[in-house]
Structure 1
Amino acid sequence: MMKNQKRPWTQNQRFEFIEWKLFWEGHLNRKDLETQFDISTPQASVDLKRYRELADGNIEYDGTEKSFVPSSKLVPNFLKPSADRLLLQLRALLSSALSRRDLWFRSLPAVDMVPDLVRHVDPECLRKVLQALRTRSAVDVEYQSLTNSRWRRIAPHALAFDGHRWHLRAWACDREDFRDFVLSRIDSIGELHEVEYDPEDDVAWNRKVLLQLCPHPGLTPEQRLAIQRDYDMSEGQRDIELRLSMAYYFIKRMNLDLPDLPAARVQLCIANLAEVDAAIERAKKDGAERIAMRLRSVTGQHPLGQP
């Protein structure tokens, strides 16, 4: 059993590294510690000795391989093994979002991926957007929609990723409602301005819904079992909670809005789709009512000058 005592964060990180190497690669030597953390040979020896004192049989020395190996009773104490995290790190490495040094493999496994079509975002644009978020200000942007390019004044209050693109969730000053703006479609960005709006009025962002995912009914029993395993379903269902404003993007990304596609292509369906659609419509209505009430209290008029 691991003794409960405080240790320096740097030493805990090295102990995590030891367990990572044992768990994922199955071997470790002193040189691994020296190279990864730029420490001396004596310090690496101290770390290994101390870990062996604390770990109660997690690690053994293999004289043939001349390296430390995990025992059959390995129970990580400093590492929380996560396949999802490791695969995400490999993906980040391939997309250059993570450096090779940050991945603790001595030698990488053969790995590749279908390339992401990266949508360019100018760093100065993102910098100004983050400033607007921090100060709850509006900012002028030259925005390229699918139909035209024009200057608009928006007040972003959140960032959102739909699986392919980054969006700004923002108060559209000209329309007096909350909308999504694709970050990569901002061609130019201007100055910040004071603005009166309340992110709490964005009901579709603040309210969440539970999507009940299940295998498509058109699949065979064997196919349904495979899909249940793919998505780690319990009793044939996987519940996904997400913001109502993000539900549209999730449904579209998973092809759940294309009923004519073959079942084997779609694979999933939403058991409570009618409930989700109703929740989205209710959020739109509630949000519009909140905005109208707020604007009446400020100006004495309905939004957009309506009587």
Structure 2
Amino acid sequence: MYLNLTVCDSICQHCTKSQDICVTEPRIAPLSPPEAAQLPTSVRQRLMHIERCLFWKGEVQRADLVDTFEVTTVQAAKDFRLYMDSFPGKMVYNKSRRRYVPEPAFSPALIRPDTLDEFAAIPSAKVPVAHWPLPLRRASPEVLLSVVEAVRERRKIEVQYQSMTGQAPEWRWLSPHAFASDAERWHVRAFCHTRREFRDFVLGRILATRAVAATNIDPVADTEWNTFVEVLVTPNPRLETEQRQAIGAEYQLPDDLELTLKLRESMLFYVKAKFESPKTDDPAAHQLFVAELKQLK
């Protein structure tokens, strides 16, 4: 399909300002969900961002695509036309505001807005957002590069690690084979040649790396990593019925308020640390907990 690029003499439905580049082309039939899923990833990401802006800011303009994806205004115009033709009735151009706004019955077609994490980074003058001023847990790029390469190439690596049981950082050999997250920080799963066992190591506590070498450690031998368990999570029975129902709705629990999580046995420590009862008699301070544990064969 050839695109006819023209220069508008005035503001039209497709332009955000006069003398802007307008893309005119035959309208296409609306995309079905499978067809939308088959769009090139870069195009689909830009169309999804259009929806994020419509949902979060209540408006969208070409600068949202140009600044976020570093595309040209011509490409942004094509994306807007593709979105409007593919998903009619979702947005309309507001001439007075010189930007697109959602239709009154707007509902996203490509995104599923079930968490604020997807939108909080998008600046919006009408939706204030505050973040906890906590320090970030990060590994240095040099450390991360070395450890990822060691995992990928199945080699052992010498690292300087600051444990919480030692006073000073120590150099030790690790044979890393996987990464895991407890939703707060990243760990590398590795065989420790000092302790002679598989353990979790916090990436941010690896201060430096140096030598690498071949390893004879087989990740299959990491029993805790390769064993899966099921844990039953449920609202605290000590809460009132209405409170338990509210917790169930918040965490999208099934009707019986019991959620079974399947996870690696090596991650069980972090789940228990999150859900086990704190030192308090207030049940509201302990909303969820692990009610049952079953090891899978």
Give the TM-score normalised by the residue count of structure 1: 0.71
Aligned to 1:87: 117
Q: Cα distance, 1:62 vs. partner?
A: 4.1
Distance 1:54 1:264 in 2: 47
Q: Cα distance, 1:20 vs. partner?
A: 2.9
Partner SS for 1:155: strand
Report percent identity of matched pairs.
32
Which of 214, 226, 238 is the equivalent residue of 1:194?
214
Of 47-56 and 161-170, the range deviating more from structure 2: 47-56
Mapping for residues 60-139 of structure 1, pairs under 5 Å: 60-63=92-95, 65-77=97-109, 79-84=110-115, 86-88=116-118, 90=120, 93=121, 103=122, 105=123, 107=125, 109-139=127-157
Distance 2:140 2:240 in 1: 47
Matched-pair contact (CA < 8 Å) for 1:227–1:267: yes
Partner SS for 1:228: helix
Q: Cα distance, 1:8 vs. partner?
A: 6.2
Aligned to 2:15: none
Q: Residues 161 and 262 of structure 1: is their aligned pair in 2 closer, same or farther, counting only changes over 3 Å? A: same
Distance 1:164 1:28 in 2: 33
Question: Once superposed, which parts of structure 1, at least 4 consecutive aligned residues long, lie more than 6 Å away?
Answer: 5-8
Q: Residues 30 and 194 of structure 1: is their aligned pair in 2 closer, same or farther, counting only changes over 3 Å? A: closer
Matched-pair contact (CA < 8 Å) for 1:141–1:189: yes
Aligned to 1:25: 57
Q: Cα distance, 1:110 vs. partner?
A: 1.4
Q: Cα distance, 1:68 vs. partner?
A: 3.1
Distance 1:187 1:164 in 2: 19
The answer to whether residue 23 in structure 2 is matched with residue 2 in structure 1 is no
Which of 253, 263, 271 is the equivalent residue of 1:250?
271
Q: Residues 192 and 267 of structure 1: is their aligned pair in 2 closer, same or farther, counting only changes over 3 Å? A: same
Q: Cα distance, 1:263 vs. partner?
A: 1.4
Q: Residues 216 and 15 of structure 1: is their aligned pair in 2 closer, same or farther, counting only changes over 3 Å? A: closer
Distance 1:218 1:19 in 2: 42
Distance 2:108 2:203 in 1: 41
Distance 2:229 2:84 in 1: 48
Give a deviation string over 1:40-85, Cα, whole Å, max 9, x none: 4x665555445433333323344555543323454544x223332x
Which is helix-richer, 1 or 2? 1
Of 157-166 and 21-30, the range deviating more from structure 2: 21-30
Matched-pair contact (CA < 8 Å) for 1:218–1:263: yes
Q: Cα distance, 1:242 vs. partner?
A: 1.8
The residue type paired with residue 269 of structure 2 is Y
The count of aligned residue pairs is 261
Distance 2:278 2:31 in 1: 53
Matched-pair contact (CA < 8 Å) for 2:277–2:286: no
* Structure 2: runs of 5 or more not aligned: 1-29
Give a deviation string over 1:146-201, Cα, whole Å, max 9, x none: 33243322101112222333222111223432111222333442301211111111
Distance 2:90 2:249 in 1: 31
Q: Residues 245 and 88 of structure 1: is their aligned pair in 2 closer, same or farther, counting only changes over 3 Å? A: farther
RMSD: 3.2
Q: Residues 161 and 52 of structure 1: is their aligned pair in 2 closer, same or farther, counting only changes over 3 Å? A: closer
Give the TM-score normalised by the residue count of structure 2: 0.73
Which is strand-richer, 1 or 2? 2
